[in-house]
Amino acid sequence: MNKRPIAVTILAYLLIVMGVVGIAYHFGEFRSTPPSEYLSVLFVRLLAIVCGVFLLRGNGWARWLVMAWIAFHVVVSYFHSIQEAAMHAVILVAFAVVLFYPAASRYFGAGATDGV
């Protein structure tokens, strides 16, 4: 098995931390927020944690899920402000570079079935 690139490791742990911090941050809003809205926020944060864990495990499908996750943020942030959308777009490009550069592709390509 190929060694995990440090950039992938950092990104994976960053996703896990962002998910945990996001859940903790929104935890106080549980009683004042409609359940459907709170559950959707919880789902997005849990998805970040799942992505991070499976990036660490070398599952190729996780990097595609990360890209979909951040692309979702680009779309949602567009409705907040163009500056927020632009920042998320920059993050999307950074994630793509980290997850698809040659060393990362070799790391994720080591398991030809991508964890299936």
Could you report the per-residue pLDDT of 56-100, keeping only the tens digit for each? 999 999 999 999 999 999 999 999 999 999 999 999 999 999 999
Position 110 scores a pLDDT of: 59
Could you tell me the pTM of the whole model? 0.84
What total of structural domains would you count in the chain? 1
Does 70 fall in a domain? yes
Structural domain containing residue 64: 6-109
H-type alpha helices, the chain: 6-27, 35-56, 60-78, 82-100, 102-109
Banded pLDDT at 28 (limits 50, 70, 90) = confident
Q: CA end-to-end span of the chain, whole Å?
A: 17
Task: Look at residue 115 and tell me whether its pLDDT is greater than 50.
Answer: no
Does 67 fall in a domain? yes
Q: d(Cα 103, Cα 107) in Å, to the nearest integer?
A: 6
Crossing angle of helices 60-78 and 82-100, in 10° steps, is 170
CA dihedral 100, 105, 107, 109 (to 10 degrees): 130
